[in-house]
Each structure stands twice: as C-alpha cells, then as structure tokens.
Structure 1
Amino acid sequence: MSCTTILVGKAASYDGSTIIARDDDSGSGRYDPKRFIAVAPKDQPRHYRSVLSHVEIDLPDNPCRYSIVPNVLNNRGILAEAGANEYNVAMSATETIAVNERVAAADPFVELVPAGENAEIPGGIGEEDIITLVLPYVRTAREGVARLGELLEEYGTYESNGVIISDVDEIWYVETIGGHHWIARRVPDDCYATIPNQLGIDDFDLSDAFGDQREYMCSADLREFIVDHHLDRTMRAHTSRRAVASHRRDRFNPRAVFGDSTPKDHIYNTPRAWYMQRHLNPSEDWDSPNARFTPISDDIPWCRVPERKVSIEDIDFLLGSHFEDTPYDPYGTLGTPESRHRYRPIGVNRTGHMVAIQLRPYAPEASRAVMWISYGSGPFTTAAPFYANVRDTPAYLRDTTPEVSTANLYWTNRLIAVIADAHWFETQNLIGRYVEQVRVFGHRLIESTDAGIAKAIAASTAKRSPADRPSEDAPAGVGDGMTGVGGAAGAADVPAALEGANERMAAFLETHAHTLLNDVLYTSSNLMHNSFAMSDRWI
C-alpha cells in the first residue's frame, strides 16, 4: 500500500484555485524513477493494450495534448500517475484503497486469467491505465468522472482505487467498489479532503446521485447492489419488517457499507489523516486523552473546513511530513524510541514524486494549470512549479535514467536524501535553505511569467481591428487562435513563454540541487564513523 492525497476546494485555497495533490509511493523494497513529459495528440495510442491486465480498448480519434509524471520503466505500463490536459482538466491516479470481503464477493475484481488449457482472459483497468484512458478526452471534471465510470462498468477493474479529477471549478473523488461499481463525491468548495490508503468517502446521497448530481455520482445500479447483497449494516430504530423492507435509505456512510478496517490501518493509514487535519485545524484538541480524534481513529472525517486558507506550502509540508512536533516523529526527540517508529510517516523513503496540480481561475486558460512537482523523499526536497500546457518539458525532469545519475533531478534528490538521512540535525539547515530558495524563486517565476503573458495578450489584442476581435458575448477562447488567449501573437507566443519559464525553473533546480548535494556530502563525510586526524590525539 502507498500514496497520500490531499484535495483543496477553491474557497479553501489561498488564491481561489482548486488544488489536487498526491504522493506516489512505490511498494516496499521498490523504487520507481519518475519523469515529467508532454504527450502530443499524435503520440496518444488509438488502440490501447494494458501491460499488466492485457485488456484492449479502442480509443477515440480526437485526443488533446496533456502533461503527465509517469514511471521511467515501462515494466508495469505507462502509470501516468498525475497530469493536466490542455482544457485544464487535471487528474491524479491512483490512491490505493480497500473494500470489505462482502463487496469483493458480490462484485469480484476482474483479474487476468493466463492462458492454459483455455485461452487467456484479460483483466480490467487499473492504475496503469486510468489517466491515459480518460484525461486526453475530457473537457470538464464531470466529463472525466462519467468517462471513468463508463470504463469501469464496461471493462471492470482488478484493484480498489481512488481517482481524483478536477477542473477550475470542481474537484471530484472517485472510489472503485468491487470489480464494476463506483461512487464519486464532489469536494465542497470550502473544504479540504484527506485520503490515506483507505476508502475515505464518509457520506453519500443516492437521491442526488440518481438525480441532479450536484455533489454525488455513482454506477447505474448501486442502490440495488447494496440491497441485493445486504451491504448496509446501519442499525435503525425498531420497526416492522414490512416497514424496513419498504424503507429506501438514500443517505449512508460508504465506509460502513463498502469499506474495510483492520488493526494494520492504525499503523499505516489513519495516523496520516490525523496529522494532516491536526495541521490544518490546529485549535482542535488532537493530543490529549480526551481528544475526539487520535492517530488510530476510524472515523476521522473525509473532508472539513480548514481554519486558514490552505497554501501550496501547507500541501508541500504535509505530503513530505514525518509527524513533526509529535512523539511519532522518526527524526524527533519527543516520545520514546518505540513511539518514534510506531506509525508510518507521510513522507517516506519510497516516495517517487509529489505532484500538486493548481488550476488558477485568475489566469488565462492557456496558462491556468501549474504542476508543483518534487521527486524523491519529501523531507529532503520541495515542490517547484511547472506550467502544464506545454509542448515539451525540461530535460532535467524529463530525461530521468533508469540508473543513478546526477544529470537529472530524480536521482540527485534521491542521493541528497540517503546522505542527509544519517545526519538529520547536521543537514537540516542546508535543506531548509534550499526549500526556501526554491519556493521563493518558483512563486516569483510564476508571477513574472503570468504578468508577461498578460502584457503580451493585451498588446496583441490592442493591435487587432475591432472586426478581428472576439465578441464580448463570446465565451473565453473563441476567436483567439489558442484556448483562452486573446490575440494572434499570443497564440504563437504563450506556449514558448510557458516552456521558457519551465526551463528557467529547471535550471534553478539543477544549480541549487547540485549545491545542496555537495553541501550534504561534505557535511556527512566529516561525520563518518571512521574519520581520523592526527589533531584528534591532542584534543
């Protein structure tokens, strides 16, 4: 099990953006190198075959361009993991979750059956496939939920997953329920949601899902699925059998109906939700014996209103955190040796990347999506911003090699982490200075690039004759030559401007990550156990 997710509604974020963010952690004992790439429509397959399940699917002939952060190795398929398309729809897939045995028995997972005496039977879709099958073909988050739901119902899945789909107005979280069923809930605008490898949605309204779909969506026969397989365990006030049979309960807690909870969750999962909410709602009692929620609580809310607007820095800190300022911090001094290793931290050694996708309502559509990307173990690095709507990505993040090399960001960050880990206190100032430098430069770069694009758009629009300009009543992007960009010059210049900004961010990272590697190497070398100097004899 792996991955941690935090979702931030537009009224809960610091700038009115929707923000979806997830750590992608590989399985125990495995490390997956990552890269940042742009996929052109001509490179999108028209016939798709999964590496893991061998499912084959014909795809539409009209894909759009999109940017993703997949694995370098193709041994388990594309595994696009996180991405945004040119229509400013973003996805993160997937958060591994679990359903109970009754659900798995009622709707078995669609697993690959290898050829033997009979022909091979392909499996369903999974983490490997989902973004590639959905993101290039949708213009809104709701369209993404509908397309994913259709794929799940037709082809099924071989695993339980949570999938995030967002646009500038909405964030939707989809959970797979058995082989073919699914539920989706919209994150309230004024809330954040936290998901730590458990089925997380704790409230669902079937009347809305089968009605206006304002906040909920689901598979077509979900109501019957629950009833027919006796999945609802909710206790009600005593009444006649006939009344119970005729009662249609439209509001329920999916955790109680579909979810699973074991003592292992209290070590691996629930502490992460506890810590994220502890940070974003700090005035609540989280630590006393009378605290409502503890690290082992099974009823920590899926979403809630934060005490302050949530920033990119909050997300970056939380998804790289190790339970700072608690007795459970493996690098801390509080508690005991046992408590400091009691729970699985959020930022672990196996993190391949963290991607936070910010969709900004105040930016032109062509530059609206920013992907904040970090590679490697979160406590030793930080996220940097990259525009998503580009034709190509910087080599320093794109050309990650399968083997160790300081010529790319992924391996440089991995080396920094493994060296600094052994000398945490001695290297913390070095890492802290790097984090501050990257964040400051990143924010300034985005602001200056945005300003330059706005100026170019205004100048280009001013040069056009009134007859050439879009009508004031026309929707954004109509007549622009490029979605959301006002001006013919803008149509040619904006992609280049975004790519130039990304190259500057990559160059900054390359310079400062190498400096940090040099510094932590020097500091740690001086602290090796076999260090010796003649002057030591006279101390």
Structure 2
Amino acid sequence: MNTTVGRSSCTSILIGKKASLSGSVIIGRNEDAKTAWPKHLAFNLHQEKKNNHFKSKDNKFELDLPETIFAYSSTPEWTDKYGVFEEDGINEYHVAMSATESAYANDRVMAVDPFDTEKGILEEAMVTVVLPYVKTARQGVKRLGQIVADHGAAEADGILFADRDEAWYMEIGSGHHWVAERIPDDSYAIVANQLAIQKIDFNSEDFMYSDGLQEFVYQNHLWPQDRPFIWRDIFGTHDDSDLHYNTPRVWSGQQLLTPSVEQAPESFNLPFTRKPDSPISSQDAQRVLSDHYNNTVFDLTNAKNKNSATFRPISVATTQ
C-alpha cells in the first residue's frame, strides 16, 4: 500500500454535545486511499501484558507500553504487512479516537523542526499506543503529545478524540510541536487536510499545546510576538492546493450545517469551529461525509459539469 495516499485525502467532523440532536458528542472521519482496500472490525479484550512493547513495521518507531491494556475496538487494515493502522476505535472508558486527518506544515517550520520520518510516530501507530491506555479524551491528547515530545512525529496530522462530555481536535505541526482545541459544546468543526486550528488562548482550559511552543515560534522568528498567536498561519500552508483541494470541502460541510452564512469556497478565512443553524443528527454528519457538492454548481454528477472538476469533493471513489 502506498500509505501516503491514505494520509493526504481524508475529511473529519467533530460535533459538540449541545450542537447535536441527541445531546451526544459525535466524531467521524472518511479515510480515502483505495477503491478496494478492506478493513477489519476488531474487538480487543482488556488484558495484562508484561514487557508490553510496540515496534512499528512502517518505520523505526518503537515504544514501551503500560502493562494494563484497556478493552477497545479498532478497524485495522486487512494486512499488517505495512503496519497496524488501527485507525479508530472506542475503549472501555468510552473514549473514542480517530487517527488521522493528514495535513501539511510550511517550509519555514520544517526548516527548524523537521519531521523525523525514520523514528517518529506515524498515523500507523497512534491508536495502538494511545487509545488502550487513557480514560478521557484529555488524557488521550496529553499521552499522544508526550509521545511526540519524547520521540518526535513523522508527519503532520490531525487526531480526533472524544468522550461522553468533550470532543478534542489535536494537530501535529512539526517534529515536536502540537496544539489541541476542545470543540465548543454548541459548535462543530470540519477539517480537510489542513492545519486548521486558529487563535490559541494560552490561558484557557480549552487548549493544550506542546511545551515551549511560544518560545520555539518567537526564537525562530516564525511569527511576531505582538500579534495574536494564530496556529494555522504560523504552521500551516496557504497555497493553490488548499484553495482547490482542501478549503472547498470545509465550505461545503459548513454550507450544509450552517446555510444561513454566506462564504466563498476559496477562502482562507473559513472558521475552524462554527455553530449550526439546527441541531445536528448522526444522519446529518453522514450527509456531510458523503457530500460531493450535491445540488451545487460544482456537483460532478451533473452532466453539465463533467469537464469542470473545479474542486475536490468530500466523498470520492476512493473513500473507504
């Protein structure tokens, strides 16, 4: 499997409990890689395992793990030849995790804190080394953040965490730096292969971030110290690929859930979180993740648009 394909083509949604129709936190993600690449649904029992150790088959990342392994579900690939890729699941403490929404960091950041592709943690390992060892979504963010700090990251990623009360979105933006934002209870977020989190409030319990993040940014002259700390602008990309491949998907999802707001599909100013016009059902979330610009001028199923693939849709032929 060419794993880079799967890592550049996903779309995610996170919904706060007061924004959902059922009062439940909802998270979900499309994985886009191949038209025929089966998944298994696995249920892993609670167990005690001495000398518990993880060693990646995808690169040289490895990690000693706690002896107690909580029960959890997962959806691994049909083969582990290229790595585990458990992708997503829910553990016995009702913590849900999905890894990952692929993203890209800009060249300025990469010049001073590049990804460790040889030994850093990859998407392949994240669910396996995090989900069976945490009791809350916050703990999930902290555990993965500590692994990134200690071992480095091999790629830019967005990771979804949820429990009964909170939804968190975590983004890894360089070899050792990351941020996470709690989705407001009355709001939702849609993410499409970009570093999407915006202003970081370093005094708020609704944000978590890597140690020394501000010092790293200011010492390397990545952002003025007298400006608001905008993670997306400091670490993310702003190029033609974003305008045609990424931001239109966010636009289409926000148009479905908040149609009262007028905004352009080619905009770098789409908000990370937004309030819905109406409570969001699980079916609404599914509708977002199956969207191909239905009933818009960009819908390629419309015969008039067959030769006008202006924007990449959320749902494509390789969506698994």
TM-score by length of 1: 0.56
1:228 match: 219
Gaps of 5+ in 1: 113-122, 209-213, 234-246, 286-292, 353-539
Whole-angstrom CA distance in 2 between matches of 1:9 and 1:84: 17
Question: In the alignment, residue 40 of structure 1 is paired with which amino acid?
Answer: L
Gaps of 5+ in 2: 1-7
Q: How big is the shift at 1:338?
A: 3.3
Structure 2 residue 235 is the aligned partner of structure 1 residue 258: yes
> 1:284 is aligned with what amino acid?
V
* 2:5 corresponds to: none
Structure 1 partner of 2:187? 191
* 2:274 aligned partner: 304
Counterpart of 2:21 (choices 5, 10, 14) is: 14
Q: What do the CA deviations read for 1:83-113 (whole angstroms, capped 9, x no partner)?
A: 000000000100001111111111111122x
Question: Which position in structure 2 is the counterpart of 1:168?
Answer: 164
**Structure (1 or 2) with the larger CA radius of gyration:** 1
Matched, 1:270 2:266: no
Measure, in 1, the Cα distance between the counterparts of 2:169 and 2:36.
27
Whose helix proportion is higher, 1 or 2? 1
* 4+ runs deviating over 4 angstroms: none
Report the RMSD for the aligned CA atoms in angstroms.
Answer: 1.6
| Contact kept? 1:32, 1:73, Cα under 8 Å | no
Q: TM-score, normalised by structure 2?
A: 0.93
Q: Cα offset for 1:202?
A: 1.4
CA distance in 1, matches of 2:190, 2:164: 19
- The Cα offsets for residues 330-355 of structure 1, whole Å up to 9 and x where unpaired, read as 1124x53333x221111111112xxx
What is the Cα deviation at residue 248 of structure 1? 6.0
Give the letter aligned to residue 32 of structure 1.
W
Which amino acid in structure 1 is aligned with residue 221 of structure 2? H
Instruction: Tell me, yes or no, if structure 1 residue 70 matches structure 2 residue 38.
Output: no
Q: CA deviation at 1:72?
A: 0.9
Which residue does 1:525 correspond to in 2? none
**Deviations 1:252-275 (CA, angstroms, capped at 9, x unpaired):** 211111111110122211110010
Q: What corresponds to 2:310 in structure 1?
A: 342
Identity across the alignment (%)? 41
State the shift of 1:203 in Å: 1.8
Name which structure has the greater RCO, CA cutoff 8 Å, separation 6+: 2
Give the count of matched residue pairs: 312
Q: How far apart, CA to CA, are the structure 2 residues paired with 1:142 and 1:337? A: 45
C-alpha separation between the residues in 1 aligned to 2:254 and 2:233?
21
Aligned 8 A contact 1:80 1:132 in 2: yes
Q: Report the Cα distance in structure 2 between the residues aligned to 1:248 and 1:342, rounded to whole angstroms.
A: 38
CA distance in 1 between counterparts of 2:268 and 2:174 reads 21
Deviation string, structure 1 residues 411-452 (Cα, Å, up to 9, x no partner) = xxxxxxxxxxxxxxxxxxxxxxxxxxxxxxxxxxxxxxxxxx
Contact in 2 for aligned 1:206/1:223 (Cα 8 Å): no
* Residue identity in the other structure for 2:97: M
Task: Tell whether the 8 Å contact from 2:17 to 2:25 is kept in structure 1 after alignment.
Answer: yes
2:3 corresponds to: none
Counterpart in the other structure of 1:326: 296
CA distance in 2, matches of 1:206, 1:229: 19
Match of 2:283 among 305, 309, 313: 313
1:117-156 matches, cutoff 5 A? 123-156=119-152
Pick one of 38, 41, 66 that aligns with 1:36. 41
